């Protein structure tokens, strides 16, 4: 069996500050970001990129999270200002905010066609949906837990999660033991709040099973956008597209959804870009 345990509080808090998310949007985005960090480090090469995309008919509309294999994550919610009443148990209504829709998993490993798989959301709570994804699309029985605790002042108090996967060689006894331990565990955010480390959590899941920690990586919020990349995106519109912008707007303002940075292109910038395209 293999485990991934993540504590993502600082990175999720950074996303929260960039996007000024409401508590329910912060919880939804934070859960997807946490999942992307763990699934990102399942990939092998530095240039591999994992993208998780949720689209739903609830007030958030959709969420995107990406991670590379070094747990450098970024993401955004379509409607970061989504507001919903708390559930009767006092919890943030993440599934209500997402609604019915789909979860897509895209893995870009440099092949001509990236891996793409899409499932219907079964709960909208994200962890259950990913468990369903692993079972149906990757044929890997998994247990996924994701949690984000938003403080009263809207900062992220705790964020984290785990993914436990049964490999084909796992014995029935080992699977039973881990399942039993997971069922009796407190929620991941309670464990993190009470000071449990990632290894404490692994120890709880493992119980009587032996385990070995093979790798440990820092999770960070990281956007790789740059003026150069934005220029390339503009150039991809072609000479006609750029000429249209020059005629209609006289300038271009490009916004990065992931980090909130704005890139301004004056009429002169656009003219020199047009020259480059035509060459």
Across-strand partners of 147? 160
Which tokens go with 4? 């991934």
Cβ atoms 160, 5 nearer than 8 A: yes
In whole angstroms, what is the distance from residue 23 CA to residue 37 CA?
A: 21
Q: Hey, is 258 helix, strand or coil?
A: coil
Q: Determine, following the binding rule CB under 5 A, whether residue 146 of this chain makes contact with Zn ion.
A: no
Residue (205 or 256) nearer to Zn ion, CB: 256
Q: Which of 22, 62, 123, 11 is nearest to 257 (CA)?
A: 62
Residue 223 makes contact with Zn ion by CB under 5 A: yes
Shortest Å distance, C-beta 229 to Zn ion: 9
Query: CB of 17: closest distance to Zn ion in angstroms?
Result: 14
Q: Considering the rule CB under 5 A, would residue 65 count as an interface residue with Zn ion?
A: no
For residue 105 the two structure tokens come to: 């998993």
C-alpha 266/C-alpha 146 separation (Å) is 44
Q: Which of 5, 43, 201, 225 binds Zn ion (CB under 5 A)?
A: 225
For residue 9, the surrounding DSSP H or E stretch is: helix 9-19
Q: Using CB under 5 A, which of the segments 25-33, 82-90, 165-173, 216-224 binds Zn ion?
A: 216-224
* Residue 258 contacts Zn ion per CB under 5 A: yes
Query: Does the footprint of Zn ion cover residue 230 (CB under 5 A)?
Result: no
Q: Does residue 254 touch Zn ion according to CB under 5 A?
A: no
Say how many C-beta atoms besides its own lie within 10 A of residue 120's C-beta: 11
Q: Nearest 5 degrees, angle CA 201-CA 9-CA 11?
A: 130
Contacting range for Zn ion; rule: CB under 5 A; set: 75-83, 113-121, 148-156, 217-225 = 217-225
Which of 175, 237, 259, 277 is close enough to bind Zn ion by CB under 5 A?
Answer: 259
Interface segment toward Zn ion; rule CB under 5 A; list 122-130, 150-158, 183-191, 219-227: 219-227
CB of residue 225 vs Zn ion: minimum separation in angstroms?
3
Decide: is 256 part of the binding site for Zn ion (CB under 5 A).
yes
Of 2 and 261, the one with the shorter C-beta distance to Zn ion is 261
CA atoms of 110 and 120, how far apart (whole Å): 27
| Residue closer to Zn ion, measured from CB, 210 or 228 | 228
Comparing CB distances to Zn ion, the nearer of 2 and 257 is 257
Distance CA 219, CA 72 (A): 6
* Positions in the binding site for Zn ion (CB under 5 A): 223, 225, 256, 258-259, 261
């Amino acid at each position: 069996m293999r485990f991934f345990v993540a504590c993502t509080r600082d990175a999720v808090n950074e996303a929260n500050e960039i996007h000024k998310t409401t508590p329910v949007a912060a919880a939804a985005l934070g859960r997807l970001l946490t999942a992307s960090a763990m699934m990102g480090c399942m990939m092998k090469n530095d240039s591999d990129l994992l993208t998780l995309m949720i689209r739903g008919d609830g007030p958030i509309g959709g969420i995107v999270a990406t991670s590379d294999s070094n747990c450098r994550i970024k993401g955004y919610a379509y409607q970061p200002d989504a507001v919903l009443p708390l559930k009767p148990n006092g919890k943030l209504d993440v599934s209500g905010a997402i609604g019915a829709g789909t979860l897509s998993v895209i893995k870009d490993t440099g092949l001509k066609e990236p891996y793409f798989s899409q499932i219907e959301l079964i709960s909208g709570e994200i962890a259950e949906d990913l468990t369903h994804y692993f079972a149906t699309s990757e044929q890997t029985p998994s247990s996924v837990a994701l949690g984000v605790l938003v403080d009263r002042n809207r900062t992220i108090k705790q964020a984290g999660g785990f993914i436990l996967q049964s490999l084909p060689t796992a014995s029935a006894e080992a699977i039973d033991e881990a399942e039993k331990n997971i069922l009796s565990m407190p929620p991941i955010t309670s464990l993190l709040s009470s000071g449990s480390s990632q290894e404490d959590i692994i120890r709880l899941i493992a119980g009587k099973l032996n385990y070995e920690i093979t790798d440990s990586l820092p999770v960070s919020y990281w956007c790789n956008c740059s003026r150069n990349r934005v220029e390339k995106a503009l150039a991809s519109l072609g000479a006609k597209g750029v000429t249209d912008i020059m005629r209609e707007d006289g300038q271009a303002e490009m916004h990065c959804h992931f980090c909130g940075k704005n890139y301004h292109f004056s009429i002169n910038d656009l003219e020199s870009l047009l020259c480059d395209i035509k060459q």
